[in-house]
Amino acid sequence: MARWTRRLRRWAVQTLDLPDDALLDVPRITMIGAFHAYIENHRGVLQFDEQELRLLLTSGQLVIRGKNLVLRAILPEELFVEGQIDTITFLK
């Protein structure tokens, strides 16, 4: 059932010319400089400290590394992090 749903979503995105993040459960990252990041469509926080934030995604993980990282807001599918962001990495 999940495979069929993914195919239907991909077809809808392509046919209706919708943005990928609207239906495909992929993360959307909005950055303001290297000091703020707003992440949507995550599935939870796996690990957090001042140097690293790991988020669970639908497929894989998102790792944000930097210095003095602070979580300013955590909602069920949204997160706002501040600090000096050095790297953002996707892991499968």
- Tell me the pTM: 0.77
pLDDT of residue 18: 64
Q: What is the pLDDT along the chain (92 residues), one digit of tens a residue?
A: 577 777 776 777 677 776 665 555 778 899 999 999 999 989 999 999 999 999 999 889 999 999 999 999 999 889 999 999 999 999 98
Is the domain covering 25-91 a CATH 2.60.40.1080 domain? no
Q: Report which of 76, 80, 6 is spatially closest to residue 43, judged by C-alpha positions.
A: 76
pLDDT of residue 23: 55
